Structure 1
Amino acid sequence: KMGNAESNAYQNHLSRFLPEEQSDIDGLFDTLSGSSGSAGAKNAKAAKKTVTLAALQARQSAHTRDPLPEPMTARLYNGMKSIDLPGKSSGLSEQIAKEQFVIFMSNLLKGNADEKISIIMRMIAKTGGPLKGKQIQEFTEDLITSVVHVLSYRKELRGWSLENTRDSSSGVKALASELLSELKLPDGTKPVGSELLETNFDQSVIEDWVYRVPQISVFLSVVIRQGLHVLHSLPDQTNDILNLVPHCKGIKGRGVVSLFDIPAIIYINSHLPAELQHKWQLLFSSRLHGESFSQLCAHIVNKGPCIVIIRDLDGFLFGGFASHSWEVKPQFQGDNRCFLFSVFPTLAVYTYTGYNDHYMYLNHGQQTMPNGLGMGGQHGYFGLWIDSDYGKGHSKAKPRCTTYNSPQLSAKEDFTLDAMEVWAVGDAPESAGRKGKKSILDVDPQAQALLEMAGKSRQSEGLREPIEEDEDDS
């Protein structure tokens, strides 16, 4: 029989789960340990049933393609194995007991950073700490790779796919390195580059990191729920899991490969206001709509909050989040929820400094003011600028952009645009419906007059595209 203390601890862990969650976990354990039979017999033997690494791997391999990459399965097993049960030398046993299995689920899915940390330490390295930065890097890359892999496997990418997004392998490395940049030594310093890989980090530093970097816990939860297929459909999932990947609208069947990769989508989405995280809809793609500033304006004006992403000719990827609908006017617009970001070669988000309110700017057809789309900084020195002479842009932020504290985002200060996308995020504003829909031709009568002089009707130019119905892309 279990000792009282042990039994109480185990019951406390069990009590964190609702009855239907408990039966879900029981079912998974029974499947993995190969037990079956009537409930009574099962309970009598429950303490004796165990799970092995081979069983975890076999559960994966029972499918044509494994839900989780093999290294992650081994890490989950090491995490389960690390849980000490009183009176048992569990560290020596290759078998996972039911109690270890339940405590593992309880700590990682319901626990705080303190409860998670000893398991995470053993998932990073079998031997436990202190750990080298390189080991933490490998774990973090494995974790992100597994999230992308399992969401793709379970068809949970909500309209995104590995085919309609940029290759995610460089995105995995970029996101891992962004998360690792938050590792802080006790003296407050953050090691970088090769120094980070060689630095030793002890448990308290890694616990602090897990506490401050919510992605680690969210990703572990997704890997367990979707990878082992347990507790994945139950109502206790928090919004950070539900809106981990936004619904993707507007690229189905159009042959577009987004400039974003899946790790970048997950990361950028997590920085959006919560009410905008559930959906991204493609408004403009230079590949679909042509390389024209008036086309860009026609597709993005009055469409609600947007994300702009640009690739320059050197392959750098960067952009910004506009918290308000874009309007063509000679004043700055937006608010302090706007931010700039970089996707490649580094993944990072740059939020407002409070220094000025030059969040976003869009102007066209003016004699005296600059014409183009800008975010941050000031006229002539934007953190991000796309000129109305489409194809030219700049990111003049030496040493940093005043509004967002961002560095130069493009490879060269003055860059040439290679490709551009604009995504509306959240639900479309009422005014974006058919009635209130203005095209650049309404905003700029001169452009309309020129078209009419050229004998082209507005419709034939396709400048007014019908608003795409919200088809379900998932």
Structure 2
Amino acid sequence: MGNSKSLSEQKFCPQFLPEEQTEVDKLFNILSSGKGGSTAYGTFSLEALKSHVREALPAEMVTRLYDSMRRVKLTGKAQGPSEHVSREQFTAALSYLLKGNSEEKSLVVRKMISAEEGPVKAREVQKFTEDLVCSVAHVLTHRRELRGWTRSQATAPPASMQALAAQLLSEMKFQDGQKFLGPQWLGQDCDQTVIEDWLFRVPHVATFLSIVIHKGLLLLCSSLNLATLIPERQVDQGQHFESVLDVLSVIYLNSHLAAEHRQRWRLLFSTQLHGQSFSQLCGRVTYQGPCLVLLEDSDGQVFGGFSSCSWEVKPQFQGDNTCFLFSIAPRMAVYTHTGYNNHYMYLNHGQQTMPNGLEASGRTRHSEGLREDPSNYDT
């Protein structure tokens, strides 16, 4: 990293397999000859891309994709952005975004962020990130790929999109090594090296771009395994209620779990379905394997913890250092163990002398509080 070249300085070699290149070429042929296609031979226009995508992606993201393609400068070609997208530009942009390393991805992402040459402002990266997160929620909803994570709203609420975008941006480091810590940093310059480093350390950005391309353009869909990104939500037959989590929150939490826990999540207990009895909770969550505990308080804050092993009702601490706490609203964050002690999990009930309640990594939620608090409590 730190030695990025422009697309015009690199000799482009497609990274698609032959069968993948055939599918890419087929889509280009559709775009260049279909409704809204360009009058220029062997190219396509923004109108053609919008006509193909239709309602699957927000218009802002379609325009960003199109602009990044037409701004590709291939070796030996005329300089400056072209008016339409050629086959070579189309293939190069998609190859870098889907198959490239962090340096190659950053060359196209930089063009998606802004048309201006040179460094971009952090506020421009923020707007791109918010558009990207919004597009993921939009296309997954449009293609009906939510895998059971439905809410009362048609799409994820703006607060969730902004929280995830803010979390992704918090990992960005500027030239001086400082991280993006809030609005006061929006005026900072981000050069090509900063963007490349960000893509390297925050794989969610590349993953979200692949979702937008695969599901938005309906291209190379077999390359995207949503089952590893979004666990299937299972609720007992005959029971249904809207989850506290939306699909963006689920994707974020799921990425912090071990691979064997990412395929399917089964609801064990909810105050909406099973009441606010602590003894009911204890009876339903014990000996069920690793588990996520999720709470929403009366102020709308959503938080919880991951237990690495089965809960047991006993007066001893349980678990190991793979347990963690998390926050979903008003901000998304994961808090791993500090090594200060081994107080990872605790669940006890009905004892006269020992503490009763549920504790995760040193934070306790007593049974009396559960009975009195009207919050949602899901596991």
Q: Percent identity?
A: 49
Answer yes or no: is 1:69 the counterpart of 2:58. Answer: yes
Q: In the alignment, what sits opposite 1:456?
A: none
Answer yes or no: is 1:153 the counterpart of 2:145. Answer: no
Find the aligned partners of 1:320 and 1:150 in 2 and give their Cα distance. 29
| Residue in structure 1 matching 2:378, options 397, 421, 434 | 421
Question: CA contact under 8 A between 1:273 and 1:337: conserved in structure 2?
Answer: no
Find the aligned partners of 2:282 and 2:139 in 1 and give their Cα distance. 38
RMSD of the TM alignment (CA)? 2.2
Secondary structure, aligned partner of 1:361: strand
The 3 A distance-change label for structure 1 pair 163 and 205 is same
Secondary structure, aligned partner of 1:313: coil
The 5-angstrom pairing of residues 225-240 of structure 1 reads 225-234=214-223, 237=224
Q: In the alignment, what sits opposite 2:368?
A: 389
Question: CA contact under 8 A between 1:81 and 1:90: conserved in structure 2?
Answer: no
Question: CA contact under 8 A between 1:51 and 1:96: conserved in structure 2?
Answer: yes
Find the aligned partners of 2:154 and 2:86 in 1 and give their Cα distance. 41
Find the aligned partners of 2:106 and 2:300 in 1 and give their Cα distance. 38
Q: In the alignment, what sits opposite 1:25?
A: 24
Q: In the alignment, what sits opposite 1:210?
A: 199
Deviations 1:164-187 (A, max 9, x none): 899432110000001101111233
**Matched AA of 2:112:** M
The 5-angstrom pairing of residues 53-64 of structure 1 reads 53-61=46-54
Deviations 1:57-87 (A, max 9, x none): 11123xxxx1111000000011111210223
Question: CA contact under 8 A between 2:151 and 2:242: conserved in structure 1?
Answer: no
**Matched AA of 2:70:** K
Deviations 1:407-439 (A, max 9, x none): xxxxxxxxx4511100xxxxxxxxxxxxxxxxx
Q: In the alignment, what sits opposite 2:42?
A: 49
Find the aligned partners of 2:305 and 2:241 in 1 and give their Cα distance. 20
Answer yes or no: is 1:247 the counterpart of 2:245. Answer: no
**Matched AA of 2:233:** C
Find the aligned partners of 2:96 and 2:237 in 1 and give their Cα distance. 39
Q: In the alignment, what sits opposite 2:332?
A: 347
Deviation at 1:248, TM superposition (A): 0.9
| Residue in structure 2 matching 1:196, options 173, 185, 192 | 185
Find the aligned partners of 1:177 and 1:356 in 2 and give their Cα distance. 31
Question: CA contact under 8 A between 2:291 and 2:308: conserved in structure 1?
Answer: yes
Question: CA contact under 8 A between 1:311 and 1:417: conserved in structure 2?
Answer: no
Structure 1: 4+ residue segments shifted above 4 A: 164-167
Q: In the alignment, what sits opposite 1:412?
A: none
Q: In the alignment, what sits opposite 1:140?
A: 129
Question: CA contact under 8 A between 1:311 and 1:420: conserved in structure 2?
Answer: yes
The 5-angstrom pairing of residues 57-456 of structure 1 reads 57-61=50-54, 66-89=55-78, 91-163=80-152, 167-234=156-223, 237=224, 241-250=226-235, 254-377=239-362, 382=363, 385-391=364-370, 416=373, 418-422=375-379
Find the aligned partners of 1:290 and 1:34 in 2 and give their Cα distance. 59
Deviation at 1:371, TM superposition (A): 0.4
Find the aligned partners of 1:140 and 1:253 in 2 and give their Cα distance. 39
**Matched AA of 1:283:** L
Question: CA contact under 8 A between 1:168 and 1:263: conserved in structure 2?
Answer: no
Deviation at 1:336, TM superposition (A): 1.0
Find the aligned partners of 1:191 and 1:109 in 2 and give their Cα distance. 26
Find the aligned partners of 1:162 and 1:203 in 2 and give their Cα distance. 38
Question: CA contact under 8 A between 1:292 and 1:390: conserved in structure 2?
Answer: no
Deviation at 1:18, TM superposition (A): 2.0
Deviation at 1:161, TM superposition (A): 2.4
The 3 A distance-change label for structure 1 pair 199 and 251 is farther
Q: Unaligned regions of 5+ residues in structure 2, if any?
A: 1-7, 35-39
The 3 A distance-change label for structure 1 pair 129 and 421 is farther
Q: How many residues align structurally?
A: 367
Q: In the alignment, what sits opposite 2:5?
A: none
**Matched AA of 2:53:** Q
Question: CA contact under 8 A between 1:165 and 1:257: conserved in structure 2?
Answer: no
**Matched AA of 1:140:** T
> Which protein has the larger Cα radius of gyration, Structure 1 or Structure 2?
1
Find the aligned partners of 1:248 and 1:77 in 2 and give their Cα distance. 35
Find the aligned partners of 1:200 and 1:392 in 2 and give their Cα distance. 51
Find the aligned partners of 2:33 and 2:197 in 1 and give their Cα distance. 38
Find the aligned partners of 2:236 and 2:187 in 1 and give their Cα distance. 43
The 3 A distance-change label for structure 1 pair 253 and 392 is closer
Deviation at 1:89, TM superposition (A): 2.6
Q: TM-score under structure 1 normalisation?
A: 0.74
Find the aligned partners of 1:164 and 1:374 in 2 and give their Cα distance. 32
Question: CA contact under 8 A between 2:150 and 2:243: conserved in structure 1?
Answer: no
Deviation at 1:188, TM superposition (A): 2.0
Find the aligned partners of 2:355 and 2:214 in 1 and give their Cα distance. 51
Question: CA contact under 8 A between 2:175 and 2:190: conserved in structure 1?
Answer: no
Find the aligned partners of 1:310 and 1:57 in 2 and give their Cα distance. 41
Secondary structure, aligned partner of 1:330: strand
Find the aligned partners of 2:135 and 2:153 in 1 and give their Cα distance. 19
Deviation at 1:156, TM superposition (A): 1.5
**Matched AA of 1:340:** L
Deviation at 1:388, TM superposition (A): 1.9
Deviation at 1:265, TM superposition (A): 0.8
Deviations 1:355-390 (A, max 9, x none): 21111110011112110100112xxxx2xx221224
Secondary structure, aligned partner of 1:86: coil
**Matched AA of 1:386:** R
Q: In the alignment, what sits opposite 1:454?
A: none
Q: In the alignment, what sits opposite 2:37?
A: none
